[in-house]
Amino acid sequence: MAKAKKPKDVEARLISLADEVIAAAKANRDPAFLIPSRTLSNVNFNTKKGIIEMGKAKQERSFFNTGMAKKFMQTMLVADALSELQRQDLTTSLREIYYRTKHTIQDSHENTFDSQGESDPIVEDLEVGLDALREELHVRAENTGTIVGPLVLVDDGDTIDCTRLGKGGYSVPSIVEPDYIQIKKCTADFVLLVEKGTQWNRLSEDKFWKKHNCILLTGNGQPPRGVRRLARRLNDEHKLPVYVLVDNDPWGYYIFSVVKQGSISLAYESQRMAVPDAKFIGLASGDPEEYGLPRNVGIKLNDKDIARAKEIMNYPWFQKKAWQLEIKHMLASGLKYELDSLANKDFRFLTTHYLPKKLKSKKWLD
């Protein structure tokens, strides 16, 4: 029911862009749209909700302005392509949107788009500008997430038992809204979200989820929307705590914060994707010492790492004392550690020692 109604609504919103152009032209004025800006300056940290929210700042995108004319034109082309998806009830990728809207402008040698880097932000502009979710726009990302554990899902009518998917697990689609994926059964005690696919494989191979009755989830680096949204749903609908396991470097910290509070560029999605009570399980700066990792498996922080760490220290959502100490500790040591470095002790050190000890001691950061 909701499924049938929503797309029509989205299509109407896309068509409203054309209406604005027609109305402006008729009134002999410059056509323009308002698009909320997706920058750090337009992001607020809501301490009460514990999530990053988008501010109220908006940018006007008008046609008769040399700097914006092309973007305006591109916005119309992308809106046109998106409405085509709505009419035909198809989903597509960002890459295909790029190819669909690319052509040489008549009587010129200029392309409408020169690279996907130009069309991707326009899709995001339309998401925020029209207040439509990406999946509502029928745009999906690649499936880069994987899940395994005591969980039964229904996808397109197929029932998927995530305990019976071998070592490989189930590939998390980019759209996991209840309309598309239903959680039929979940008996796990918690969710373990692992940054790296390699470590997820280690845990999956060792059947860590069986022994500890948990769901293993990975996004292979920065977790995509589907993974984040699924973690959120498990947290929301089944009250599962979410633990995040990342490398000990500034990028790992940021991945954790994206899962927990949301990201700057997708601040408008935090409401739906952030898991405010997610916990940082490791790798923490104190871990190498605590778990007896030798100094020589560390990697020297480079200039970029140091700059990024200092930047993160200034984000409002990293102001907790424990976090400031954690980052300072890393900067003071001058070293970063990969999850993989735990193999120095033993191939299964992560499965048999590190995680059990962490889970038992509950030594994590909030």
Partner 1 sequence: MKKSKNGSSALTAAEMGARQREISVSEFFTKNRHLLGFDNPRKALLTCVKEAVDNSLDACEEAGILPEILVKIEVVGEAQPLPSPAQATRFRITITDNGPGIVREQIPRIFAKLLYGSKFHRLRMSRGQQGIGISAAGMYGQLTTGKPVRIISRISDRKPANYFEIQIDTRKNEPIIHKKNEIEWEHARGTQVTIELEGKYQKGRASVDEYLELTSIANPHATFVYSSPEGQTIRYERTFSELPESPREIKPHPYGIELGMLLKMMHDTKSHWLSGFLTGDFSRVSPRTATEICKAAGLDPHAHPRRIARDQAEKIYRAIQSTKIMAPPTDCISPIGEKAILAGLYKEIRCDFYTAATRPPAVYRGNPFVIEAGLAFGTGNGSQAGTAKNTALAEGESHEEDLELARVIRYANRVPLLYQQSSCSAYKAVLETGWKNYGIGQSRGALPQGPLVVFIHMASVWVPFTSESKEAIADYDEIRKEMKLALQECGRRLGTYLRKREHAKSEYNRRNIFALYIEEVAEACGRLKQGKMDTDKLKKQLMKIAVRKTGGEKTDELLGRKKDLEDEMPHSIIITPDGPQGEIPGIQGA
Q: How far apart are CA 302 and CA 236, in angstroms?
A: 39
- Is 99 designated active site? yes
Residues whose CB falls within 8 Å of the CB of residue 364, separated by 6 or more in sequence, listed in order:
243, 279, 280, 281, 282, 358
Nearer to partner 1, 34 or 105 (CB): 105
Minimum CB separation of residue 328 from partner 1 in Å reads 43
Which pair of structure tokens corresponds to residue 58?
Answer: 């908006």
133 preceded by a cis bond (ω within 30 of 0): no
Minimum CB separation of residue 74 from partner 1 in Å reads 9
Q: Which residues are 183's β-sheet partners?
A: 153
Which candidate, 128, 215, 132, places its Cα nearest to that of 177?
Answer: 132
At residue 122, what is the residue type?
I
Nearer to partner 1, 53 or 120 (CB): 120
Minimum CB separation of residue 89 from partner 1 in Å reads 16
Strands of the sheet with 170-172, listed across from one edge:
170-172, 145-148, 214-218, 190-194, 242-245, 279-282
Catalytic residue among 98, 99, 254, 268: 99
Q: How far apart are CA 287 and CA 146, in angstroms?
A: 27
Nearer to partner 1, 29 or 310 (CB): 29
Q: Which residues bind partner 1 (CB under 8 A)?
A: 14-15, 17-19, 21-22, 25-26, 28-30, 63-64, 66, 69-70, 72-73, 76-77, 79-80, 83-84, 104-112, 114-115
Minimum CB separation of residue 12 from partner 1 in Å reads 11
Nearer to partner 1, 98 or 364 (CB): 98
Minimum CB separation of residue 34 from partner 1 in Å reads 18
End-to-end CA distance of the chain: 39
**Sign of the alpha-carbon torsion through 196, 202, 205, 207:** negative
Nearer to partner 1, 80 or 340 (CB): 80
Positions annotated as catalytic residues are 99
